[in-house]
Amino acid sequence: MESEAILNLSTLITNDFAEATELIYKSKGRVIITGIGKSAIIANKIVATLNSTGTPSVFMHAADAIHGDLGLILKDDVVICISKSGNTPEIKVLVPLIKSAKNTMIAITGNKDSFLGQHANYILNAFVEKEACPNNLAPTTSTTAQLVIGDALAVCLLELRGFSSNDFAKYHPGGALGKKLYLRVHDISSVNEKPKVAPTTNIKDVIIEITEKMLGVTAVVENDKIIGIITDGDLRRMLSKVNDFSNLTAKDIMSANPKHINADAMAIDALEVMETNEISQLLVEEYGKYAGIVHLHDLIKEGII
């Protein structure tokens, strides 16, 4: 029932949606979003989505508004009122006060002929035929419709602003989501050990280097350039093939031309290279020189995975 109601919303879109979106985009003020009951909870979510995508927004509870919170509305602010019926007592008190302050008002309502619908400058029609609640009482379908309209509004504004993933990262610096957008390989590899051996290093010293640096791998480096890699697996394969490795060197068992990544690349790109090549370590290069190692465990620890 809710999914059918959402599909039907597209048939209710009018020029009011486009004009309301343009109005918010060009506004010098904020977006104040208000509602009562379950609509207030939806208003809170829409505020959060707008704020995180570049449109400054503030939630104002309709009941609190008529008891002092009206003072948070500034002259350039655009007000969005959310109400299924558009006829609740709080809305009937609040709407004339907003109008008298000459703030532009956008209604998200399921009843365009309601008190709210008649007094709003723009109507975003959230009509639903019936609630999913068996008694047709608890706000279910109606709040879902309100939420969808809020998301549509946020996405349209996001596109108008040319809001990029880099902009998104500025507003989401914490948590795994933010890290995927701003964490670079260097941020991780720079705190790791940097195991390296020369191509002429004997196998005993190779084993010591891998063991001491505790990354399960070492780069084979010549003149600061990466020429190969030796992993724990390479050592095991060597031991299964030869009885005497005293004369072997790093160059004899290394894998040449190993996968590597630039230090300035995004950490999420390092993960993609690892997944594509089914490896758990990746050598890091900076200005064409060996700069360290990024390990799959580092990405897990940082929440990239």
In the annotated binding site, the residues are 61, 67, 200, 252
List pLDDT tens digits, range 264-299: 998 888 989 999 999 988 999 999 999 999 998 888
Q: Which of 53-67, 143-157, 161-175, 263-277 has the lowest mean pLDDT?
A: 161-175
Pairing type for strands 289-295 and 281-286 reads antiparallel
The whole-number pLDDT of residue 303 equals 76
Mean pLDDT of 54-60: 95
Model pLDDT, residue 191: 87
Q: What is the pLDDT of residue 46?
A: 98
Query: Residue 223 pLDDT more than 80?
Result: yes
pTM above 0.85, yes or no: no
User: Dihedrals φ, ψ of 200, to 5°?
Assistant: -95, 0
The confidence band for 18, taking pLDDT boundaries of 50, 70 and 90, is very high
Give dist(CA 101, CA 80) in Å, integer. 14
Q: What is the pLDDT of residues 88-125, one digit of tens each?
A: 999 999 999 999 999 999 999 999 999 999 999 999 99
Q: What is the chain's mean pLDDT, rounded?
A: 91
High-pLDDT (> 90) share of the chain, %: 73
- Angle, in degrees to the nearest 10, between helices 141-160 and 38-52: 20
Mean pLDDT of 8-24: 96
CATH architecture of 2-163: 3-Layer(aba) Sandwich (3.40)
Superfamily per CATH, domain 185-301: CBS-domain (3.10.580.10)
Structure confidence at residue 163 (pLDDT)? 86
pLDDT of residue 174: 59
What pLDDT score was predicted for residue 171? 67
Binding positions for Zn(2+) are 61
What is the pLDDT at residue 180? Answer: 67
- Alpha-carbon gap, residue 271 to 172, rounded angstroms: 20
Residues of the chain with CATH 3.10.580.10: 185-301
pLDDT band at 156 (very low <50, low <70, confident <90, very high): very high
Distances (CA, A) of 183 to 151, 164, 175, 193, 199: 27, 16, 11, 19, 32
Binding-site positions for substrate: 61, 67, 200, 252
Q: Is the pLDDT of residue 143 over 70?
A: yes
Classify burial at 30, counting beta carbons within 10 Å of its beta carbon; exposed 0-12, middle 13-18, buried 19 or more: buried
The residue with greater pLDDT, 244 or 255, is 255
User: Cα–Cα distance between 82 and 38 in angstroms, integer?
Assistant: 10
- When comparing pLDDT for 137 and 83, which is higher? 83
pLDDT, average across residues 223-229: 94
Q: 177 falls in which pLDDT band (50, 70, 90)?
A: low
Query: pLDDT tens digits for 23-47?
Result: 999 999 999 999 999 999 999 999 9
Sequential DSSP letters for 189-234: HTTS---EE-TT-BHHHHHHHHHHHTSSEEEEEETTEEEEEEEHHH
Domain(s) of CATH 3.40.50.10490: residues in the chain: 2-163
In the prediction, which pLDDT does 298 show?
86
